[in-house]
Amino acid sequence: MQAGSAAVVLETVTKRYGADTVVDAVSVSIAQGEFFTLLGPSGSGKTTTLNMLAGFAEPDGGRVLLAGRDVTRAAPRERGLGMVFQNYAIFPHLDTFENVAFPLRVKKAPKREVETRVADALAMVKLTGFERRYARQLSGGQQQRVALARAIVAHPSVVLMDEPLGALDKNLRYHMQVEIKEIQRRLGMTVVYVTHDQEEALTMSDRIAIMNGGRIVQMGPPRDVYEAPENAFVGRFLGEANLIPARRDGLAVASEGGALLESAHGSLGAEGGFLFVRPEKVAVAPEAGTAPGGPNRIAGRVRFAGFLGNVLRYEVDTDQAGSLIADLVNGPGAVLHAAGDTVVLSWSREDCRLLPG
């Protein structure tokens, strides 16, 4: 991405609290109209990064640029960003209309403009008719929509969202994900989104930066980071993963238990590493005897057979690679195994990846 076209640029941005470096030389460049997600466990530095972008925290090093303008030391109100806060931050003393109007009011926008823009924003989040309600009279989802409408009402080119769906239940969360995504596309907004929920990140993002210990450990489109993690942390953090400890055995690769492994991607480190394979890439065959030998084939016994509705999950104990997980789509003709069944697990060399330890 060229710096000229970037909506948001962070250049080796660093933040320290005492001896702790909470954000360590983070650099990203976010394109206009991109949905960019900072994903990581709590304490990984993602919210602090967002705060430096918003202007709530001042970096100890590095620069923040918005549309090419250096705003590193600028006050939040000089940055012209839209924001959706964790817990929404709906003003309890203002009704829905005035909450949404707030960013326009502080800019002293004309009355007519306020009215039309608020009406548009409320329509966009499907809250028309709720203008005179106060936060305590709204459900969690409705409050979330108010917060969203407020963030977009002034047509900011960049909107920051800090765990905006964290307080919603699962169903609602999915609906809101879709809605946010739609609005973002329609308005062509650049969104910088912070979450610790990997599914949410995968669903919504154009690009995800996975953070750990104050650093970005991998960055890329959802499919890349999901299927091609560059290290065990990313592999594990983005959903279920089988990470089989592996070492080089001559020219071949073998598990600690001696199973022959083979992958078209990645490589082990000098000290060995892991073979990474997603559970849904693992095939489960009923009988050990009938399965042909070869790499990426490991026999084991089903310890647990879980029914997740659309997915059948098997946890299989193997002698050669420890406990592995395999997910089968509960599709037409799906074969069910029971706990105690002896099975053979296998996957293709294209669907797995070698990671350094």
Partner 1 sequence: MPLSRLGALLLLAPSILLLVFVFLGPIGWFLVGSFAELGSLAEIWEETRAVVGSRAVALAIANTNWIALQVTFFVLLIGYPLAYALNRARGLAFSLIIIAIVLPYFTSVIVRTYAWMVILGRNGIINQMLLGLGIVSEPLELMYNRLGVVIGMTYVLLPYMVLTLYAAMKAVDPRLLQAAEGMGASRLGVFLRVFLPLTMHGVIAGSLIVFILAIGFFVTPALMGGPSDIMIAMLIEREIELTQNWPVAAMMTVVLLVVTLVLYAIYARFTGGRTGFAR
- Contacts with partner 1 by CB under 8 A lie at 54-56, 75-77, 80-83, 85-87, 89, 91-95, 102-103, 105-107, 134, 136, 150, 154
Cβ-based neighbours of 265, under 8 Å, separated by 6 or more: 228, 350, 352, 353, 354
Give the whole-angstrom CA distance, residue 282 versus residue 284. Answer: 7
Query: 149 near 127, Cβ under 8 Å?
Result: yes
Least CB distance to partner 1 at residue 126 (A): 22
Residue 33 CB, nearest approach to partner 1 (Å): 22
Nearer to partner 1, 93 or 223 (CB): 93
Q: Which residue, 187 or 260, has its beta carbon nearer to partner 1?
A: 187
Residues 6+ apart with CB under 8 A from 351: 277, 278, 281
Q: Determine whether 355 is exposed, middle or buried from the number of CB atoms within 10 Å of its CB (0-12, 13-18, 19+).
A: buried
**Tokens 């026999």 — which residue?**
299
**Which residue's CB is nearer to partner 1, number 88 or number 237?**
88
- Output 86 or 203, the one with its CB closest to partner 1: 86
Min dist. Cβ of residue 89 to partner 1 (A): 4
What ranges in 73-168 are assigned the alpha helix state H? 96-105, 111-124, 140-152
CB-nearer residue toward partner 1: 27 or 157 = 157
DSSP letter for each residue of 158-178: EEEEESTTTTS-HHHHHHHHH
Q: CA-CA distance, 55 to 73, in Å (whole number)? A: 8
> Of 148 and 254, which has the nearer Cβ to partner 1?
148
Least distance in angstroms from the C-beta of 136 to partner 1: 6
Q: CB atoms < 10 A from the CB of 286, how many?
A: 13
Choose between 8 and 268: whose C-beta lies nearer to partner 1.
8
φ, ψ (nearest 5 deg) of residue 202: -65, -40
Beta carbon of residue 72, minimum distance to partner 1 (angstroms, whole number)? 16
Tell me which DSSP letter residue 2 carries.
Answer: -
Least distance to partner 1 from the beta carbon of 156, Å? 9
Are 290 and 342 within 8 A, CB to CB? no
Report, in Å, the least distance between residue 7 CB and partner 1. Answer: 17
Could you give the CA distance from residue 65 to residue 72 in angstroms, rounded to a whole number? 7
Q: Name which of 162 and 230 has its Cβ closer to partner 1.
A: 162
Q: How far is the CB of 133 from partner 1 (least distance, A)?
A: 12
Distance in angstroms (rounded) separating the CA atoms of residues 147 and 58: 25
